[in-house]
């Protein structure tokens, strides 16, 4: 089993009603890899960083089985930087600063091993870059999962629709599903999105859980009710990392197993939001994960006589 992860590795600076993070490590590929590394090795990381990206952060990823030869280092440039502020409800945020830096002309070249991975996940990036990665794969991966965001719907819709055609699982949030289809009802939006290429669709609803659609089937997983949501940054990427990590570990891409993968993703995301940035998800161990999986079973499990 092997997994290729494409996405950003970045600096984040986060303000929430509970505090300020200072400059910390973030980026879609960072969160995805940290979550997935609990389930699968090796992970081939495809990203770009500046000379300012801490070496010890790279070492920490390498320790977890993340192969970094696909991470381009532009020594004389700065890493992607994002600063944002969350509102009281922690569901909405404002971007205060976005500096693309090294990301501005990112054109990844995949190392040999990364081109042969069985599983590929495309974190949020320009759809042209995502398509470029798919084109470099030597054999069609068993499963391609793609995340995106509303920004690309605004500035690169045609390229986005073209990339969506090439993937198996599309990950969007509820607002993005509505924007991409013009349908307010998520069920109607899902039906349209499933005609655009992907065989599977995941609609993330943040604290309200996630929906998995496939043909006429739908599965729902709640988010774990938590006492405190400290910082939602990276929760969606961490969810995606848990999802693809479980699938790559089990090498089973059936709908039944995707349900389980959604639960695993929700478990990983529930850790992510408990601390700033990657702090909590780099601490979790298999026992933590098992305990929380049990909590999920208790949360949704019920008996009913269908008579």
CA separation (Å) from 101 to 12, 58, 76, 81, 187? 13, 19, 11, 8, 39
252 binds a copy of itself (CB under 8 A): no
Nearer to a copy of itself, 20 or 290 (CB): 290
**Which of 185, 251, 252, 283 lies at the binding interface for a copy of itself (CB under 8 A)?**
185
202 binds a copy of itself per the rule CB under 8 A: no
Q: Does 222 bind a copy of itself (CB under 8 A)?
A: yes
Task: Say whether the peptide bond before residue 58 is cis (omega within 30 degrees of 0).
Answer: no
Q: Does 211 bind a copy of itself (CB under 8 A)?
A: yes
Cα 235 to the center of its chain, rounded Å: 8
Least Å distance, CB 137 to a copy of itself, is: 30
> CB-wise, 3 or 262, nearer to a copy of itself?
262
* Position 135 contacts a copy of itself (CB under 8 A): no
Q: Is 254 in the site for a copy of itself (CB under 8 A)?
A: no
**Do residues 170 and 199 touch, judged by C-beta distance below 8 A?**
no
Residue in 63, 69, 89, 94 binding a copy of itself, rule: CB under 8 A: 89
Q: Choose between 105 and 303: whose C-beta lies nearer to a copy of itself.
A: 303
If one asks whether residue 192 binds a copy of itself (CB under 8 A), the answer comes out as: no
List residues near a copy of itself by CB under 8 A.
Answer: 88-89, 184-188, 205, 208-209, 211, 217-222, 225-229, 256, 259-260, 262-263, 290, 293-294, 297-304, 306-307
């Amino acid at each position: 089993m092997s997994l290729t992860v494409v996405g950003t590795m970045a600096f984040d600076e986060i303000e929430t009603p509970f505090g300020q993070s200072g400059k910390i490590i973030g980026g879609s590929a960072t969160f995805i890899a940290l979550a997935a590394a609990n389930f699968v090795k090796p992970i081939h990381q495809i990203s770009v960083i500046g000379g300012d990206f801490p070496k010890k952060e790279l070492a920490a990823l390498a320790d977890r089985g993340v192969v970094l030869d696909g991470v381009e280092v532009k020594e004389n440039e700065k890493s992607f930087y994002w600063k944002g502020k969350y509102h009281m409800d922690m569901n909405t945020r404002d971007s205060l600063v976005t500096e693309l830096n090294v990301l501005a002309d990112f054109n990844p070249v995949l190392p040999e091993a990364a081109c042969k991975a069985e599983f590929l996940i495309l974190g949020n990036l320009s759809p042209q870059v995502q398509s470029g990665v798919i084109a470099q794969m030597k054999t069609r991966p068993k499963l391609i999962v793609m995340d995106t965001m509303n920004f690309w719907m605004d500035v690169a819709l045609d390229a986005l629709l073209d990339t969506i055609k090439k993937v198996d699982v599309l990950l969007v949030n509820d607002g993005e599903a509505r924007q991409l289809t013009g349908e307010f009802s998520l069920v109607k939006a899902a039906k349209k999105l499933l005609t655009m290429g992907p065989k599977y669709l995941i609609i993330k609803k943040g604290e309200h859980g996630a929906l998995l659609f496939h043909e006429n089937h739908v599965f729902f997983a709640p988010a774990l009710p938590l006492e405190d949501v400290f910082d939602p940054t990276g929760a969606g990427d961490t969810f995606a990392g848990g999802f693809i990590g479980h699938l790559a570990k089990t090498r089973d891409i059936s709908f039944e197993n995707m349900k389980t993968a959604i639960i695993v993703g929700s478990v990983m995301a529930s850790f992510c939001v408990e601390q700033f940035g990657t702090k909590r998800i780099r601490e979790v161990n298999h026992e933590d994960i098992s305990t929380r999986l049990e909590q999920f079973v208790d949360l949704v499990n019920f008996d009913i006589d269908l008579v």
